[in-house]
Copies of this chain bind each other. A is one copy, B any other.
Amino acid sequence: MASWIFRAFKSFLALAKSGRSVTEFSKAEQEVLQRILMARRDVRGNRFSRDPICEEDLQTILRAALWAPSVGYSQPWEFVIVTEAATRKQIAASFSEENARALPLFQGEKQQKYQQLKLEGILETPVNVAVFYKQSGKPVLGQTSMPEPGEYSVVCAVQNMWLMARALNIGMGWVSILDPEKVKYILNAPPAYKLVAYLCLGHVREFLEQPELELLQWERRKEMGEVVHRERFE
């Protein structure tokens, strides 16, 4: 009799556990995620307000990064929170140099458009975050045939940050027009670390309804039929 009660109690516990909201998401919750995914924008300097980001929001964004998937659970990410003006001015100088180098690669109308674009918010945002990949000294499960999944894990962390920031109504911009070696030097990064992303975070005056480069007709949105193939490439 006692063992019957014990078994019934165990089943009840198992059921209670399986019904927990963490394990099963509802239609309404799926739609929340969809709206966050769709509303996320790459925010540039001219759209940021100058309001500070509170420490609690910054922690929430970084915690989202730490929940990212990583190859072999290696968690090969390192983050540097940059707020000092002197450091950011050095980073912004690297952007200016690299951006000037990029301009002549674009021709005619594209070059004119490129010149008018504001492509970063290094000085306009209260917080920058440099994100690095730290290679493990040991073999990593899942990284033995392809080396890239280590860096890719760090990118997943960046995307988690982007979505969490957007849910907090905080804008984020990813600056990739930088000399990664100069950024490493400025931030005193160990030689083996690789710069994956340089992020600018701040409150915004507005989130655009569409990506800015779509609005400016720099590129058009691709349709699903153009990029999804069945079974194999033709």
Binding site for B on A (CB under 8 A): 18, 21-25, 29-30, 32-40, 42, 59-60, 62-64, 66-69, 71-75, 77-84, 87, 98, 101-102, 105-106, 114, 117, 119, 139, 141-146, 148-149, 151-152, 155-156, 158-160, 162-164, 166-169, 174, 176-180, 186-190, 195-197, 206-207, 209, 211, 213-214, 218-219, 221-222, 224, 227-234
Residue of A139, A141, A151 with highest tally of chain B CB at under 10 A: A141
Q: How far is the CB of A119 from chain B (nearest CB, A)?
A: 7
B62 in contact with A146 (CB, 8 Å) = no
| Of B105, B163, B178, the contact of A146 (CB 8 Å cutoff) | B178
* 8 A-B pairs with the lowest CB-CB distances in the bound complex, closest first: A73-B213, A102-B144, A155-B155, A105-B139, A73-B219, A98-B145, A159-B159, A32-B32
B69 touches A174 (CB 8 A): yes
User: What separation, in Å, do the CA atoms of A230 and B22 have in the docked complex?
Assistant: 33
Cβ–Cβ contact A230 & B146, under 8 A: no
Contact partner, A102, options B35, B63, B145, Cβ 8 Å:
B145
With a cutoff of 8 Å between Cβ atoms, the chain B residues found around residue A144 in the complex are 98, 101-102, 105, 177
Q: How far is the CA of A152 from the CA of B175 in the complex (A)?
A: 13
Given A227-B75, A230-B81 in contact, is the A39-B68 Cβ separation under 8 Å? no
**Complex CA distance for A158 and B35, rounded to whole angstroms:** 17
CB distance from A182 to the nearest CB of B (A): 10
How far apart are the CA atoms of A177 and B29 in the complex, in Å? 33
- Give the residues in chain B near A233, CB-CB below 8 Å: 80, 187-190
Question: A191 vs B22: C-alpha distance in the bound complex, in angstroms?
Answer: 42
Docked complex Cα distance between A5 and B43 (Å):
34
